[in-house]
Amino acid sequence: MENLASDLIQLLRYLLPGFLAAWVFYGFTSFVKPSQFERVVQALIFTLIVQVGVYFYKAMVFYLSKYWVLGLWGTDIELVASVVIAATLGFLFAYFANNDKFHSVIRKVGASKETSYPSEWYGEFSNKVTYIVLHLDGERRLYGWPKEWPSNPEKGHFSIEQASWLNDGKETPLTGVKTILIPARDVQMVEFMEKNWE
């Protein structure tokens, strides 16, 4: 029984950094979490990458220890190194998923036409920092600055600052209102205005 507990602890120490990297990635992106099975597969892939990183880190420490005394390598040091590498890996993947830098290079090479963003909706709002017009039910139109917007067009709310109603070409500001929340399900179309204030 002690052997089983010891083996289980070793297995968890080996696998948990990959799950940590996946947790950090999904915590800092707007991607919809996939099914349980797919998340486990992704965590196992992260585990492989983390373990390769730990291997190279260990090799580097052993190489440098020929010239400087760095201390002893042990399971505790290996655990700390794997946690740091996993957290860094999760942050890096989240960074590249949130700004499309990796996929923009892949598109230039011609290997893909995809973006890093979870949807076209998310990509447009990430790339177009400008005033918008929300077309609502009943032919109402709301103009303003999007302080926040939903990651998914089906749920969530828009938080609009400097809001004005647009009626027959006339702008009617909402006086005394700092922000207005509009449910995404009430929005039929979004217009991104040209930057004419620069």
The pLDDT tens digits for 123-133 are: 888 777 889 99
Residue 86 vs residue 70, higher pLDDT = 86
d(CA 182, CA 134): 9
Residue 118: inside a domain: no
Out of 47, 77, 109, a domain closes at: 109
Same domain, yes or no: 37 and 97: yes
Question: Looking at residues 32-51, what average pLDDT do you find?
Answer: 89
Residues in the chain: 198
Residue 117: inside a domain: no
Query: What pLDDT score was predicted for residue 97?
Result: 84
* Range ranked top by mean pLDDT from 4-8, 9-13, 34-38: 34-38
d(CA 95, CA 107): 18
Task: Grade residue 23 by pLDDT with cuts at 50, 70 and 90.
Answer: very high
C-alpha angle 123/125/128, rounded to 5°? 100
Same domain, yes or no: 99 and 134: no
Same domain, yes or no: 79 and 160: no
d(CA 158, CA 186): 10
70 pLDDT more than 80: no
Domain count, the chain: 2
Question: Looking at residues 40-49, what average pLDDT do you find?
Answer: 92
pTM: 0.72
Residues sharing a CB contact under 8 Å with residue 153, sequence separation 6 or more, in sequence order: 119, 121, 184, 187
Same domain, yes or no: 97 and 142: no
d(CA 130, CA 145): 7
Residue 146: inside a domain: yes
Residue 104 vs residue 54, higher pLDDT = 54
Residue in the block written with tokens 């290997």: 111
Q: Which residues face 145 on adjacent strands?
A: 161
Residue 16: inside a domain: yes
* Residue 178: CATH number of its domain: 2.30.30.100
Question: Looking at residues 139-152, what average pLDDT do you find?
Answer: 89
**Domain boundaries, position 150:** 130-192
Same domain, yes or no: 60 and 137: no
Same domain, yes or no: 76 and 144: no
Residue 151: inside a domain: yes
Same domain, yes or no: 139 and 174: yes
Residue 140: inside a domain: yes
Question: Which two three-digit tokens encode residue 151?
Answer: 């990651």
Strand, coil or helix: 99: helix
On whether the CB atoms of residues 82 and 50 are closer than 8 A, the answer is yes
Residue 121: inside a domain: no
Question: Looking at residues 54-81, what average pLDDT do you find?
Answer: 85
